[in-house]
Amino acid sequence: MSTTTLSHDEAHHHDAPKGWRRWLFSTNHKDIGTLYLLFALTMLFLGGASAMLIRMELFMPGIQLVDPDLYNNLVTNHALIMIFGAVMPAAAGLANWMIPMMIGAPDMALPRMNNLSFWILPAAATMLILSFVVPFFPGGGTQINTGWTLYPPLSVQVGMSMDFLIFAIHLLGISSVLASINIIVTLLNMRAPGMALMKMPMFCWTWLVTAFLLILVVPVLAGGVTMLLFDRHFGTSFFDAAGGGDPVLFQHLFWFFGHPEVYILLLPSIGVLSHVIPAFSRKPLFGYNSMVGSMLAVATIGMVVWAHHQYTIGMSMGAVTYFMIGTIIISIPVGLMIFNFIATMWRGSMTFETPMLFAIAIVLMFTFGGLSGVMLAVVPADMQYHDSMFVVAHFHYVLMPGAVFGLFAGVFYWLPKWTGHMYDERLGKIFFWTNVIGFNITFFPQHFLGLAGMPRRIIDYNVMFTEFNVISSVGAIIFGLSHLLLLYIVIKTIRGGKKAESRSWEGAKGLEWELDSPPAFHTWTVAPQVK
Amino acid sequence: MIDHHIKYQQSCPTPADSSEASTGYLSKGIGGLALSISGLLAASSVHAEYGINFPEPAAGVAREIYNIHMLTMQITTVLLIIVFAFVFYSIYFHRKSRGFEADQNFHKSWFGQWSWVIVPVMVLGVDLTIAGKADAVLKKVWEVPKDEKLLDVKVTGHQWWWEYDYIDSGVKVESRYIPEEESGDLYLREVDNRLVLPTHTKIRFLHTSADVLHAFWVPELAVKKDAIPGYITETWAELDREGVFRGQCAELCGTWHSRMPIVVEAVSPERFAAWTEEQKALKLAALAEASVDKQWSMDELMERGKTLYDSKCAACHQITGLGLPPAFPALKGSPMMAGPIADHLDIVINGKPGTAMQAWGTLNDLEIAALVTYERNAWDNNTGDVVQPADVKQAR
Amino acid sequence: MVLTGADNDPVHKVLVIEPNRQLSWKTTKRVFLALALCLGGVAWYFTSLGAWLVIPFTGLELLLIGLGLYLHCCHSHQQQVIQIDAESVSICDGRLGAQQASFPRAWAKIIQTRDPKGWYPSRLFIGSHGQFVEIGKFLIEGERDTLADNLRCAIQGA
Amino acid sequence: MIRIPEYQTPALRKKNLRLVWLLIGFALFIFFTSFPFWTGLFRIVGNQAAG
């Protein structure tokens, strides 16, 4: 540290970089959080566009819009973009914005690493989009027709776009790991004095657990896709039965990552809920300790039940029994979480602003998705449900409310804090109703399709499945278009609006709402130790 | 052949006994809700009934699975109603606009102190109910019965057709989808050769795959197992009624994953025996025909070749021979067609490793000869080459 | 965190400024070991299944985690000591004990710059005659405000 | 009449309206590019009406 010369001007203006430098070289947690959120919003529309194409194609029996490989590629891309491009970066954006504010830290622990972990994402997204675009060019090979699970041997047949995808997954993994390390170090080391772990806001807790999960599972996925790359190009046969390998090994590697990934998507939204519901119920969160405990339980059990995605690979009866019991057991901590949310609302003094509406929708619809999850966990019954549209309906009922609606709730809840303006409440409510109703029309009928015998990931189907597909596609149009309203609300709020107070919501609690009046638990009391 | 009684519209199951009456009622209730939605949207009325639940099981295994499915569905529906009731009660009564004051000490009451024990214990109770039943069903379903005479059927998934080997009798059935012009309303649910199975016989299915992952799924039989190359997985079923049961491949297997229907035709054991004999005789006749030392004429070979090509090759290379490049190269105007016959035969017999082109060496000499002759002369390829079964025999 | 001398000497004052930190070096090592153990378990399990390629990735990741923890541990142990005498105000690096700057007390000024939009944290400088040293960069906003007030009092209140 | 709140300056209002038009344009784009969807829907409705 050296002395600097301060001119009169500098004493009053900030020397932070302006223009594109501000964003490219930013080490400020708020800037990076904003970048993450904008990136996620862009990707939400990209992934949404592929979902719309899928639903358009499935609207009627027959092949109308896309050819089968392109359809399968859309399925692949929709999943990857939504998971890695939209939900995870949006959750990371919330984390970047809120965690330092919530724990009373000046910034994230490793600001330069924070910058890196964001700027890897656009590069990774470019690779992901390239993997989609490359087959349209001469010599580009075949399209990725494997779905996001990338199961070999099918993924070994695919052309060069699979290599792009593998590279993209590596980049995405690096980005997530860097962000996780940053969050773990920040949360463990930079809490304000007096804030014990068990006094940490729930959102911080959920991200701490999420970051640990990411650190544990990402290397396994990285190893898996690298082995796939080796099988494709370097003559190894990790997954090739003819060469002594094992095609099922990849499934284990993938789902060891893939199942905790579900909780990685889910937990930050649970954290948001634990702030939104108490704020609008005007009453403290019911059962903070049991929330933390059940979250840790979910994460721990969730790590060791991955094979319930592969009941049909022909495991031994002992193995499937173990995975079945483990999976059903998860309903205990998850049930406790849901119970705590309901008990927080119970005997509260509720008002129903947009974040709260989303929160209630999550409690109801996530319960629904969770219960169909219990049905899927039952091995013999899963022999029927597996890979049918029932599964598609189930995981959209878990992930849309569980992850995406939670993020919507968080965005509406903290938007006044971020922008300094209140959003338009009336538009917010319109957005909520179109969104939730559209979602239910889209995905509820898919349960029936699955039970009646329609497999997932098929481009064309028999006329007997027409009715529910029509309903589902009509719902999808409503659901998809409703997000344009979200875009409008967000941009409008950034531009201006009613000035937000530092405590934007009547019942909001937490350090982030008290930034102007800092808490009293610091400084000037402890004796110094100076040589 | 066996009469085709078409029965693809299955909806609410007929209750088998009194305990299942409520089950059917429940599913009808949910179905009614869905129907009213679809009615509002003015969906087609061509189909009188909609499939909203599993079709009526046709095997003991499927019946067990069906029952556990209905049980878990009932339990979860009850739980869902409880959760909804609490939330809506709370939303209605505990809101600020009604002047309800928040109870700040709710979490400090005895209930708040002990809920973290009470709730998990209650959930555990529900879990144990489900897991206990599931475990009992699993024992019946999972393990193939031992020490019994079973009818072994080897089910091999190919891109994109099914091969059924009746191991005991040596009969082999290749089953492919039928284009829409021929199958009509049963498009994607009908095949050219069905999997014929006897009723009241324990059948063991041995699943494997020739290329990528597939999954054999017929809801009435309730046996879904992945077909994994290099693995053999097994399931079993004992069909308890005759009928035609339809399913589809359930594991994404590439381009034409949607075109892998499965049709099971359940017949009485006597008719099954007759059918087996018929198939054996057909196979012998074909073999005899192929081994006859005869020079086939171009027209004969072309005619046989076209039939074979349209059923076996057209899924990838298309009827027009234009293929779907780059995955499936065009045969029309391909240099392979005008090149040496030996190369052409080699790729048909041995396939091309690393691609979707599989080895067709299981076809007999006559069939391969016809196929290659057809490919070299159809779609303006007009090389004029005629390949005889003897040439194929030599090339093997 | 800002610590100050407990004595009520109005002339001589000592202020110690440190970042908030909750982990000692020992607990940091424990956290790292726990993570290494979990990751090692995962890597060992999948290696036993034949997927040895997981090992290099877990190894690389552990390296990164270690690096992150170490760097931040270094960062969080920095310390600025401000000594106020009758004549001068001096700023030292508390860990190295090296003096950074010294200003005549009578002329010493405290300047706090603020981002007009409140987007960036404020910055606090101390110095005189156009030469300034930034202090408390690692503090949070409220602590910095309090520090500025207290410094002003301490310097001028002689 | 739509009451304009005091924090909404005319310039801001103009900018927001422009955004609305852009989004409506995008919605129309989706509307027209999903042509097969709408023709299919009309066909089904037509069939229904015809019995």
Which residue is closest to D49 within chain B, CA to CA?
B42
* D19: closest CA of chain A, how far (Å): 7
Residue B225 in domain: yes
Distance CA C43, CA C59 (A): 9
The model's confidence at residue A528, banded by pLDDT at 50, 70 and 90, is very low
Query: Where a domain ends, among B87, B120, B142?
Result: B142
Which pLDDT band holds residue B381 (cuts at 50, 70, 90)? confident
Q: Are residues B123 and B155 in the same domain?
A: no
What is the distance in angstroms between the Cα of A382 and the nearest Cα belonging to chain B? 9
> How many CB contacts within 8 angstroms connect chain A with chain D?
50
CB of D51 less than 8 A from some CB of B: yes
Q: What's the pLDDT score for residue B275?
A: 93
Instruction: Report how far apart, in Å, the C-alpha atoms of B219 and of each of A386, B53, B249, B261, B266 are.
Output: 11, 10, 11, 12, 14
Q: How far is C61 from chain A (nearest CA, A)?
A: 7
Residue type, A112: R
Residue B263 forms part of a structural domain: yes
Q: For residue B140, give both structure tokens.
A: 């019946």
Beta carbons of A481 and A475 less than 8 angstroms apart: no
Tell me the pairing of strands C80-84 and C131-135: unpaired
Domain for residue A107, yes or no?
A: yes
Q: Do B389 and B306 share a structural domain?
A: yes
Lowest mean pLDDT among A148-152, B194-198, B369-373, C66-70: B369-373
Q: Do B238 and B201 meet the contact criterion of CB atoms below 8 Å apart?
A: yes
In a domain, A140, yes or no: yes
Instruction: Show which subunits contact C, needing at least 3 CB pairs below 8 angstroms.
Output: A
Beta-strand pair B261-267/B195-198: parallel
Structure tokens of A204?
């911080």
pTM of this structure? 0.88
pLDDT tens digit sequence for B21-41: 333 444 444 444 444 444 444
Closest of A132, A128, A151, A150 to residue A141, by C-alpha: A132
| Distance, CA of B258 to CA of B184 (rounded, Å) | 16
Q: What is the pLDDT of residues B82-93, one digit of tens each?
A: 999 999 999 999
CB atoms within 10 A of CB C44: 12
SS3 for B359?
coil
Contact B94 A350 (CB under 8 A): yes
* pLDDT for res B354: 64
Chains with 3 or more CB pairs under 8 A to chain D: A, B
Residue D44 at interface with chain B, using a CB cutoff of 8 Å: yes
Pick the residue of A236, A290, A378 with the most B CBs within 10 A to test the interface with B by mutation: A378
Whether B306 and B364 map to the same domain: the answer is yes
User: How far does Cα C94 stand from its chain's mean position?
Assistant: 11
* Residue A51 counted as domain residue: yes
Assess whether B117 and B182 both reside in one domain. Answer: no
Q: Residue C118: its pLDDT value, please?
A: 66
The pLDDT assigned to B332 comes to: 80
pLDDT band at B5 (very low <50, low <70, confident <90, very high): very low
Using the predicted structure, report yes or no on whether residue A134 has a pLDDT greater than 80.
Answer: yes
Query: Tens digit of pLDDT for each residue in A184-197?
Result: 999 999 888 888 88
pLDDT above 50: residue A525? no
The answer to whether position B189 is within a domain reads: yes
Return the higher-pLDDT residue of B209 and B368. Answer: B209
**Distance in angstroms (rounded) separating the CA atoms of residues B350 and C55:** 38
More confident residue, C24 or B121: B121
Which tokens in the block code for residue C85?
A: 């005498």
A116-130, B23-37, B314-328: least confidently modelled range: B23-37
Bridge partners for B151 per DSSP: B203
Out of C50, C68, C133, closest to residue A3 by CB: C133
**C115 to chain A: which residues are within 8 Å by CB?**
14, 16
- Min Cα distance A450 → chain B (Å) is 8
- Tens-digit pLDDT profile for residues A495-519: 877 887 778 888 788 777 765 333 3
Residues of D in contact with A487 (CB under 8 A): 23
Q: What is the CATH number of the domain that holds B368?
A: 1.10.760.10
* Residue partners of B98: CB distance under 8 A and separation at least 6: none
| Candidates C3, C21, C134; nearest CB to A528 | C3
Domain membership flag for residue B72:
yes
Confidence of residue A162 (pLDDT cuts 50, 70, 90): very high
Judged by CB atoms closer than 8 Å, whether chains meet at C116 and A238 is answered as no
Segment B283-312 shows an average pLDDT of: 79
Answer left, alpha or beta for residue A519, where phi above 0 means left and psi between -120 and 50 means alpha. Answer: beta
Q: Which stretch of DSSP H or E encloses residue B265?
A: strand B261-267
What residues have CB less than 8 Å from B108, skipping those under 6 apart?
A: none
Is B45 within 8 Å of D44 when comparing Cβ atoms?
no
Q: C63-71 contacts: CB < 8 A, separation 24 or more?
A: C64/A177, C64/A178, C64/A181, C65/A181, C65/A184, C65/A215, C65/C32, C65/C35, C66/C32, C68/A109, C68/A110, C68/A113, C68/A181, C68/A182, C68/A185, C69/A185, C69/C28, C69/C31, C69/C32, C70/C28, C71/A110
Measure the CA–CA gap between A419 and A500, rounded to whole angstroms: 8
pLDDT beyond 50 at B148: yes
For residues A430 and A437, give the distance between their C-alpha atoms in angstroms, rounded to a whole number.
Answer: 11
Residue B171 lies in a domain: yes
Co-location of B296 and B236 in the same domain: no
Segment B149-154 shows an average pLDDT of: 91
Disruptive mutation site among A488, A494, A501 for chain D (greatest number of D CBs within 10 Å): A488
Mutation pick from D29, D34, D42, D47 vs chain A, by most beta carbons of A within 10 Å, is D34
Residue B258 has pLDDT above 60, yes or no: yes
Distance CA A315, CA C144 (A): 61
Counting Cβ atoms within 10 Å, is residue A19 exposed (0-12), middle (13-18) or buried (19+)?
A: exposed
Average pLDDT of span B151-162:
92
Query: What is the Cα–Cα distance from B52 to D40, expressed in whole angstroms?
Result: 23
* Alpha helices (H) along A420-459: 425-452
- For residue A5, give the chain C residue with the closest CA: C131
C1-52 pLDDT, tens digit each = 677 765 566 677 788 888 888 888 899 999 999 999 999 999 999 999 989 9
Q: From CA A529, how far away is CA A476, in angstroms rounded?
A: 65
Can you give the pLDDT at residue C75? 85
Residue D48 pLDDT more than 80?
no
In angstroms, the CA C63 to CA C57 distance is: 10
Residue in D closest to B42 by C-alpha? D45
Digit-coded pLDDT (tens) for A343-389:
999 999 999 999 999 999 999 999 999 999 999 999 999 999 999 99
Q: By the 8 A CB rule, do A317 and B143 touch? A: yes
- In 3D space, the residue among B251, B273, B272, B271 whose CA is nearest the CA of residue B260 turns out to be B251
Check whether residue B155 and residue B281 sit in a common domain: yes
Q: Which residue of D has its CA nearest to A55?
A: D37
Do B159 and B230 lie in a common domain? yes
Cα distance from B55 to chain A (closest Cα, Å)? Answer: 7
Q: Which residues of D touch A (CB under 8 A)?
A: 5, 7-9, 12, 15-16, 19-20, 23, 26-27, 30, 34, 36-37, 40-41, 44
Q: What percent of chain C has pLDDT over 70?
A: 91
Q: What are B235's two structure tokens?
A: 């399931």
The nearest CA of chain C is from the CA of A181 a distance in Å of 6
Contact A6 C111 (CB under 8 A): yes
Domain-located, residue A463: no
Percent of chain B with pLDDT over 90: 37
Q: Which residues numbered 119-158 in C keep a CB inside 8 Å of some CB on A?
A: 119-121, 123, 125, 127, 130-134, 137-143, 145-147, 150
Q: Are B273 and B367 within one domain?
A: no
Residues B177 and B127 placed together within one structural domain of the fold: no
Find which of A1, A29, A175 to mutate to test the C interface (most C CBs within 10 Å of its CB).
Answer: A1
Domain ranges across chain C: 2-20+79-156, 25-76
- Position B10 in a domain: no
Q: What angle separates helix A29-58 from helix A68-80, to the nearest 10 degrees?
A: 150
- Judged by a CB distance cut-off of 8 A, whether residue A190 touches chain C is yes
Q: How many domains does chain B have?
A: 3
Residue C107 scores a pLDDT above 50? yes
Question: Residue D42: what pLDDT?
Answer: 82
CB of D48 within 8 Å of a chain B CB? The answer is yes
Query: Is A136 a domain residue?
Result: yes
Give the separation between CA A104 and CA A519, rounded to whole angstroms. 9
Residues in C 23-82 with any Cβ partner in A closer than 8 A: 23, 28, 31, 35, 38-39, 42-43, 46, 49-51, 53-58, 60-61, 64-65, 68-69, 71-73, 75-76, 81
The answer to whether C and B touch (≥3 CB pairs < 8 Å) is no
User: Do A6 and C145 count as a contact with CB atoms less than 8 A apart?
Assistant: no
Touching A: B residues 294-333, CB under 8 Å: 324, 326-327
Least confident interval from A297-306, B35-44, B363-372: B35-44
Q: What pLDDT, on a 0 to 100 scale, did the predictor assign at position B218?
A: 92
Cα separation of the two ends of chain D: 46
* Summary count for chain B: helices (H), strands (E): 11, 10
- Contact call for residues C143 and A518 (beta carbons, < 8 A): yes
Q: Is B136 in the same domain as B174?
A: no
Per-residue pLDDT, A25 = 83
Do B124 and B184 lie in one domain? The reply is no
In this structure, of A23-37, B34-48, B171-185, C96-110, the range with the lowest mean pLDDT score is B34-48
Secondary structure of residue C110 in the 3-state scheme: strand
Where is average pLDDT lowest: A265-269, A274-278, A337-341, B311-315?
Answer: B311-315
Measured CA to CA, the distance from residue C147 to residue A523 in angstroms comes to: 9
Residue B7 is predicted with a pLDDT of 37
The torsion defined by the Cα of B303, B305, B308 and B313, in degrees rounded to 10, comes to -140
Contact residues on chain D for A56, CB-CB shorter than 8 A = 34, 36-37
Contact C115 A14 (CB under 8 A): yes
CB–CB of C125/C132 below 8 Å?
A: yes
* ipTM passes above 0.90: no
What average pLDDT does range C103-126 have in this prediction? 81
Which residue is listed with tokens 């080699």? B346
> What pLDDT shows up at residue D3?
64
From CA A523, how far away is CA C146, in angstroms rounded? 9
Distances (CA, A) of A333 to A178, A298, A337, B116, B270: 29, 6, 6, 10, 55
Residue B44: strand, helix, or coil: coil
> Distance, in angstroms, between C4 CA and closest chain A CA?
5
Contact criterion met (CB below 8 Å) for A283 and B102? yes
- Portion of chain B with pLDDT greater than 70, in percent: 86
Determine, yes or no, domain membership for A62: yes
Query: What was the pLDDT predicted at A508?
Result: 82
B161 and B259 assigned to the same domain:
yes
In this structure, how many other beta carbons lie within 10 angstroms of the beta carbon of residue A139? 9
Does the pLDDT of residue A338 top 80, yes or no? yes
Asked if B143 lies within 8 A of A317 by C-beta distance, the reply is yes
CA distance A403 to B232: 38
Q: Total domain count for chain A?
A: 1
Residue-level pLDDT at B346: 84
Decide if A177 is inside a domain.
Answer: yes
User: pLDDT value at position A15?
Assistant: 54
CA A12 vs. chain centroid, Å, equals 41
- The β-bridge partners of B226 are B215
Owner of token pair 């490219």: A24
**H or E segment and range at residue D13:** helix D10-33
Does residue A153 surpass a pLDDT of 80? yes
Q: Is residue A106 part of a domain?
A: yes
Q: Residue A48 belongs to what domain range?
A: 29-200
Residue type, B280: K
Instruction: Give yes or no for residue D35 having a pLDDT over 70.
Output: yes
- Average pLDDT rounded to a whole number, residues B366-390: 82
Specify the DSSP class assigned to residue D3. Answer: P
DSSP-based three-state secondary structure for B203: strand
Return d(Cα C68, Cα A296) in angstroms, integer: 24
Chain B residues within an 8 Å CB radius of D47: 44-46
CA-nearest residue to C15 within chain A is: A528
Residue B216 lies in a domain: yes
Q: What domain range is B230 assigned to?
A: 151-285
Contact yes or no for A406/A268 (Cβ under 8 A): yes
Confidence at B159, pLDDT banded by 50, 70, 90: confident
Neighbours of A155 (CB within 10 A): 24
Among A347-361, B350-364, C88-102, which range has the highest average pLDDT? Answer: A347-361
How far is Cα of residue B206 from the mean position of the Cα atoms in its chain?
A: 14
Q: What residue type is assigned to position B60 of the chain?
A: G
pLDDT bin (cut points 50, 70, 90) of residue A290 is: very high
Task: Give the contacts of A107 (CB within 8 A, at least 6 positions apart).
Answer: A27, A28, A29, A100, C121
Residue B21 is assigned to a structural domain of this protein: no
Provide the mean pLDDT of chain A: 89
Q: Is B231 on the interface with A (CB under 8 A)?
A: yes
How far apart (Å, rounded) are the C-alpha atoms in residues A403 and A206? 13
Domain C2-20+79-156 has what CATH class?
Answer: mainly beta
Q: What burial class does residue A233 get, using C-beta atoms within 10 Å of its C-beta: 0-12 exposed, 13-18 middle, 19+ buried?
A: exposed
| Contact by Cβ (8 Å): B229, B212 | yes
